[in-house]
Amino acid sequence: MTNAPNIDGWTCPLPLRDQPNILIGHGGGGKLSAELIEHLFYPAFANHLLQARGDSAVLALAGERLAFTTDSFVVRPLFFPGGSIGDLAVNGTVNDLAMMGARPLYLSAGFILEEGLPIATLGGVVERMGAAARVAGVQIVAGDTKVVERGHGDGVYINTSGIGVIPPGVQIAPELARPGDMVLASGTLGDHGMAILSVREGLEFETVIQSDCAPLHGLVEALLAAAPGVRVLRDATRGGAAAALNEIARASGIGVVIDERKLPVNPATAAACELLGMDPLHVANEGKLVAFVPPDQAEAALAALRAHELGAQAAIIGTVVEAHPGVLVGRTGIGGSRVIDTQVGEQLPRIC
């Protein structure tokens, strides 16, 4: 069988070589993003640490394993139900560290401000960042501010980079999933993306959909204590759970089968998705992870997730199979099945 990632590379509707300009979708975490990474960034920066494709790079320094990661945030609006760009900037990077099993310690914060931004708005964003850092137990220890002219930014863009320490014995990486592993989701899917979309488009539903933005390292710590054999963790941000599961399927060279009836989805999010023709599997989360766990530890893992306030609605959603390596298959409610691909771009631009 031909290697799946290559097929994707060549059959993508808008491959790099035929598309001379950057599209919004290049930032969507889907196939266009993957093409940029594969064909442009990897060749230029060539090194095995970058190409490990983890949510953080793992650095061996002074006998410790450090996790190191970076993320830029361009979400609009700056404030939304359940969070702000400041909360995202802290929790997004904390979560990238947590997905390697690391204890997050230190963050940097780089601001690109647009001329004319009310200082009070910046103050509100920065206050939320500080509060989120305190909740997550991390320190923001380095910073930088640049200002661009009116019409060359959008209020505030924030980059955070983070450093964490991976405890001895923890071995989590996207290529470690094995046939037989159980796939868990830590809670309801699609809430962040639908919260942003609702407020941006002025949609009104009966219930205000809240972003799930939260720091996940406490949940990961509880999970690892109960199920030390956890093989892969990924937070299901841009591209949603479908993108995360596809990436893992490709990195590990295994197939993933999920039971779509078991996917936890908030009723309000489900209703909004149905109304708008969107699939919660493709919608971004900012406080949910998927975990690949050896079968004998799956029940303990589920119990540990459910015992944590951020994992109360966790569920076993699928299994790893030897068949169809690199491909995610969903079993539907009516007994059929479908291939669930990564999207080309992003249903919702600038959601983080």
Residues 80-99 that bind its own copies (CB under 8 A): none
Please report, as a single letter, which amino acid is at residue 145.
Answer: T
| Residues 63-82 close enough to bind its own copies by CB under 8 A | 63-64, 66, 68-74
Contacts of 209 (CB under 8 A, 6+ apart): 81, 191, 194, 195, 198, 266, 268, 269, 272
- Residue 283 Cβ, how far from its own copies at the closest point, in Å? 18
Q: Out of 3, 7, 127, 332, name the contact with its own copies by CB under 8 A.
A: 127
- Residue 328 Cβ, how far from its own copies at the closest point, in Å? 23
Q: Out of 19, 170, 264, 341, name the contact with its own copies by CB under 8 A.
A: 19
- Residue 226 Cβ, how far from its own copies at the closest point, in Å? 27
Look at strands 255-259 and 328-331 and give their pairing.
Answer: parallel
Q: Out of 8, 30, 31, 57, name the contact with its own copies by CB under 8 A.
A: 57
- Residue 197 Cβ, how far from its own copies at the closest point, in Å? 16
* Residue recorded with tokens 């990632």: 5
Nearer to its own copies, 40 or 339 (CB): 40
Q: Out of 4, 122, 135, 226, name the contact with its own copies by CB under 8 A.
A: 122
- Locate 240 and state its tokens: 């949603």
- Residue 316 Cβ, how far from its own copies at the closest point, in Å? 31
Does residue 323 touch its own copies according to CB under 8 A? no
Does residue 135 touch its own copies according to CB under 8 A? no
Does residue 270 touch its own copies according to CB under 8 A? no
Q: Which stretch binds its own copies (CB under 8 A): 161-169, 184-192, 258-266, 318-326?
A: 161-169
Angle (nearest 5°) at CA 254 between 332 and 17: 95
Nearer to its own copies, 109 or 293 (CB): 109
Does residue 171 touch its own copies according to CB under 8 A? no
Does residue 133 touch its own copies according to CB under 8 A? yes
| Residues 99-118 close enough to bind its own copies by CB under 8 A | 105-106, 108-118
How far is residue 259 from each of residues 103, 130, 182, measured CA to CA in Å? Answer: 32, 40, 12
Q: Distance (Å, rounded) from C-alpha 329 to C-alpha 263?
A: 13
Peptide bond before residue 349 is cis, with ω within 30 degrees of 0: no
Closest to 184 (Cα-Cα) out of 61, 290, 327: 290
Q: Out of 30, 31, 56, 297, name the contact with its own copies by CB under 8 A.
A: 56
Q: Which stretch binds its own copies (CB under 8 A): 150-158, 215-223, 260-268, 318-326?
A: 150-158
- Give all strands of the β-sheet with 64-73 in edge-to-edge order: 57-61, 64-73, 156-166, 103-114, 139-148
Look at strands 289-293 and 232-235 and give their pairing.
Answer: antiparallel
Please report, as a single letter, which amino acid is at residue 313.
Answer: Q
- Locate 48 and state its tokens: 């095995």
Does residue 269 touch its own copies according to CB under 8 A? no
- Residue 140 Cβ, how far from its own copies at the closest point, in Å? 4
Q: Distance (Å, rounded) from C-alpha 191 to C-alpha 210?
A: 7
Closest to 351 (Cα-Cα) out of 208, 187, 240: 240
Is the Cβ–Cβ distance between 3 and 324 less than 8 Å?
no
Q: Out of 7, 13, 141, 307, name the contact with its own copies by CB under 8 A.
A: 141
Nearer to its own copies, 11 or 47 (CB): 47
- Locate 56 and state its tokens: 């953080």
Q: Out of 85, 88, 126, 223, name the contact with its own copies by CB under 8 A.
A: 126
Does residue 11 touch its own copies according to CB under 8 A? no
Classify residue 234 by its DSSP letter: E
Q: Which residues pair with 257 in a beta bridge?
A: 319, 329
Nearer to its own copies, 64 or 201 (CB): 64
Does residue 274 touch its own copies according to CB under 8 A? no
